Amino acid sequence: MKLDDVQRIAHLSSLDLSQAEAEAVLPQLQAVFALVEEMQAVDTSGLAPLAHPILFLRDLAQPLRTDTVTESDERAQNMQSAPAEQEGYFLVPRVIE
């Protein structure tokens, strides 16, 4: 990666970097790309993908709660306070014409 690449990335990201800022960012981007190259070198063909990286650490993973209904349907009771309703929905004045 060269300084021209930093300027091109900055342009594509709609960032206005000065020459000094681009020079300061260059080693950081080089480190990121070096890390990506290092990770791509690892053979992961026999591994199943994880839904979330923390699931790899079972002791740290938060247990998922069951997907159950916790509240009852109280639409009729809630609609009693409505100044206007139609087919179970609140009617409100039109704001945009």
* Across 61-90, average pLDDT: 83
Predicted confidence (pLDDT) per residue in 12-45, tens digit: 999 999 999 999 999 999 999 999 999 999 998 8
Check: pTM over 0.85? Answer yes or no. Answer: no
Confidence tier at 57 by pLDDT (50, 70, 90): low
What's the rounded Cα separation, in Å, for the pair 17 and 96?
Answer: 42
pLDDT of 81 reads 87
User: Interhelix angle for 19-40 vs 3-12, to 10°?
Assistant: 90
Cα 21–Cα 35–Cα 7 angle in degrees, nearest 5: 25
pLDDT for 10 beyond 70: yes
